[in-house]
Amino acid sequence: MNTIKPSSPYIRPIPSMVLNALHCTQSKPNPSFSPKYPSILATNIIKSYFDKGVIKEARKLFDEMPDRDVVTWTAMITGYTSCNYESFAWNIFYEMLKEGVKPNAFTVSSVLKCCKGMKCYSCGALVHGLSVKHGLVGSIYVDNSLMDVYGYTHRGDGYGGLRAFQQMLSEGAEQSAFSFSIAVKACALTGASSHGGQLHATSVKYGLNSSLPVMNSIIDMYCWFQCLSEASQCFNEMPQKDIISWNTLISGYKRSNSTMCLSLFTSMESQGFTPNCFTFTSVVAACADLSILTCGQQIHANILRKGLDRNMAIGNSLIDMYAKCGSISDSRKIFELLSFKDLVSWTSMMIAYGVHGYGVESVKLFDEMVKSGIRPDRVVFMTVLSACSHAGLVNEGLMYFDSMKTEYNIIPDQDIYGCVVDLLGRAGKVEAAYELIQNMPVNPNDSVWGALLGSCKAHKLPNLGKLAAQFMLEAKPDMARTYLLLSNLYASEGEWKDFAKMRKLMKGLGGRKEPGCSWIELKNDVYSFAVGDKVGPQTERVYEVLSMMILHMEVAGYVPDIDYSLHEFEDGIS
């Protein structure tokens, strides 16, 4: 649990004797305490600070301690890890080694848990090596945590996990709720829904369907398989539900039906369950998905009343929600308020700036983040590259691309290449972008070709554009947009035969294209409208205002881009 509660009401007052003991080492020596004693007390207090989620206080105490032994360092590593601050835990471990403190079995198993949380298996291997060097392998704790780091399911290898489970079954090993819930999780990871039903049936056979963790993981599995009715059925048939059962179903619905997610939240509260940080992150994300600001604000108020506003996961989802609801200043407020920011906090704020056109601010935030000691990952590099691209910071972007590979050992994937192609192409260096594609070590996918296609269109390079569009169609044949662009390219070149071919292919996709729409929130209701919609008695007035706005835009020099709207004309929507 990483609940960060407001400090004062949750912390038991520290007895003055303890406080004296803490300070006596320097100012007034107290004969009743041996020099070691205060450090043990302080270590215990550090642990309890982490238990309450007041991380800053823990760190402050740690920084003030004059003598820190291996136990103190380990308490910091365990504490940070238990609050999901793995990168801080890792930094502490690094500092500890630098100061020459020798890790013991406790330290190593804590650090391994931290590696697992970071999903950083090279870090795990590093610690493995260190454990061998310090003769710590063979301790049951160290061995189990090593297995945990290297284990199948936690690494995302669902099939590996299931194979181990199958072996367990065939060897007749005793089954428990523990093994089952992990097996179900492994099955969810494979995405093979047929095994899911079997596993569910087997759990009934072993009488484990009364275990809350087992049933909760089964609900989660059905949600990942998009079998929402099966998930709901399991949920409804459970004689007893806990908060995790609700959270599992709510987060499942958030992924496929945000409206339903919100109504589940309402029934959860009406049945007397108190939402926690997990619930709120899903529900806030649902508001972000639906772009419903007032609802998001009401839930935010609920969060404030429960004193959960300093929780990092909730804060991160609030940043995203306010940005997606158009209220970037609120995103920034939440971001500033977070006493602890992790990689996701920074990335969310950077994306918020990016989508609102503040590329420079986004890039600045990236530098600040790195300076604060957080190690960037693939996602945040995508964010900073796209920010550079939109702000026209080509050289800076290329520099980040380079440091990603050389400084952070992140191997660029297709999406990253897509960002760099976009960076170059947007700035008019379309040839350089094409050259990059030809030299990239992985096969270019639709995001790469799409970026090139976009820049060919913007900089009017029909020939390269046609090439990009053809590759794009190979990679992703169901994009009506690509056919449209390609057909327009053919039309501009007078290649009517190819034009007709594209139009025909495009029509075949007709039913699959989702119509675009806009919406506005007015007095607790959301009104959505598509091109050409009639919006009640006020329709005429709305269109009057619209034509006036278009006139203003044209006076200001706006030239409409009709490449994408042609399709709508043909469908007769417009």
Partner DNA sequence: ATAGGGTTAG
Q: For the beta carbon of residue 77, count every other beta carbon within 10 angstroms.
A: 27
Name the token pair of 564.
């994408």
* Beta carbon nearer to DNA, 231 or 423: 231
Least distance CB 320 / DNA (angstroms): 4
* Beta carbon nearer to DNA, 315 or 450: 315
Q: Is 228 exposed, middle or buried (0-12, 13-18, 19+ CB in 10 A)?
A: middle
The whole-angstrom separation of Cα 105 and Cα 110 is: 9
Least distance CB 88 / DNA (angstroms): 13
Q: Spell out, one character per residue from 466 to 505, where the chain touches DNA: x when CB under 7 A holds, - when not.
A: ----------------------------------------
CA distances from 408 to 88, 98, 397, 401, 472 (A): 17, 20, 15, 10, 30
Site for DNA in 190-229 (CB under 7 A): 211-214, 216-217, 220
Least distance CB 472 / DNA (angstroms): 24
The whole-angstrom separation of Cα 23 and Cα 14 is: 13
Phi first, then psi: give them for residue 308, nearest 5 degrees: -100, 10
CA distances from 467 to 35, 366, 492 (A): 75, 35, 15
Least distance CB 300 / DNA (angstroms): 14
With binding defined as CB under 7 A, does residue 1 bind DNA?
Answer: yes
Name the token pair of 311.
């929780």
CA distances from 332 to 338, 352, 359, 452 (A): 10, 9, 15, 33
The whole-angstrom separation of Cα 245 and Cα 249 is: 6
Residue choice 39, 78, 175, 447 for contact with DNA (CB under 7 A): 78
Residue choice 24, 41, 61, 71 for contact with DNA (CB under 7 A): 71
Torsion of CA 430, 436, 438, 442, to 10 degrees: -130
* Beta carbon nearer to DNA, 188 or 506: 188
The whole-angstrom separation of Cα 227 and Cα 168 is: 28
Residue choice 22, 127, 290, 380 for contact with DNA (CB under 7 A): 380
Least distance CB 481 / DNA (angstroms): 23
The whole-angstrom separation of Cα 281 and Cα 23 is: 40
Going by C-alpha positions, the residue among 139, 83, 133 that lies closest to residue 106 is 139
Candidate ranges 5-13, 266-274, 281-289, 463-471; the one touching DNA (CB under 7 A): 281-289
Count of residues that bind DNA according to CB under 7 A: 65
Site for DNA in 422-461 (CB under 7 A): none
SS3 (DSSP) at 50: helix
Least distance CB 223 / DNA (angstroms): 8
Residue choice 74, 232, 258, 488 for contact with DNA (CB under 7 A): 74
Q: Spell out, one character per residue from 233 to 252, where the chain touches DNA: x when CB under 7 A holds, - when not.
A: ---------xxxx-xx--x-
Residue choice 290, 314, 334, 464 for contact with DNA (CB under 7 A): 314
* Beta carbon nearer to DNA, 69 or 554: 69
With binding defined as CB under 7 A, does residue 312 bind DNA?
Answer: yes
Alpha carbon 334 to its chain's center: 17
Phi first, then psi: give them for residue 493, nearest 5 degrees: -95, 0
Q: Spell out, one character per residue from 41 to 60, where the chain touches DNA: x when CB under 7 A holds, - when not.
A: --xx--x-------------
- Taking only Cα atoms into account, the Rg of the chain, rounded to an integer number of angstroms, comes to 28
Candidate ranges 22-30, 179-187, 395-403, 531-539; the one touching DNA (CB under 7 A): 179-187
Least distance CB 314 / DNA (angstroms): 7
SS3 (DSSP) at 98: helix
SS3 (DSSP) at 547: helix
The whole-angstrom separation of Cα 74 and Cα 96 is: 9
Residues 6 or more apart whose Cβ sits within 8 Å of residue 290: 258, 259, 262, 526
With binding defined as CB under 7 A, does residue 309 bind DNA?
Answer: no
Residue choice 7, 20, 30, 84 for contact with DNA (CB under 7 A): 84
Least distance CB 203 / DNA (angstroms): 11
Is 180 within 8 Å of 203 (Cβ atoms)?
Answer: yes
Phi first, then psi: give them for residue 175, nearest 5 degrees: -95, 145
Least distance CB 250 / DNA (angstroms): 8
Site for DNA in 97-136 (CB under 7 A): 104-106, 109-110, 113
Least distance CB 540 / DNA (angstroms): 40
Name the token pair of 332.
């920034």
Q: Which residues bind DNA (CB under 7 A)?
A: 1-2, 43-44, 47, 70-71, 74-75, 78, 84, 104-106, 109-110, 113, 140-141, 144-145, 148, 176-178, 181-182, 185, 211-214, 216-217, 220, 242-245, 247-248, 251, 254, 276-278, 281-282, 285, 288, 312-314, 316-317, 320, 342-344, 347-348, 351, 377, 379-380
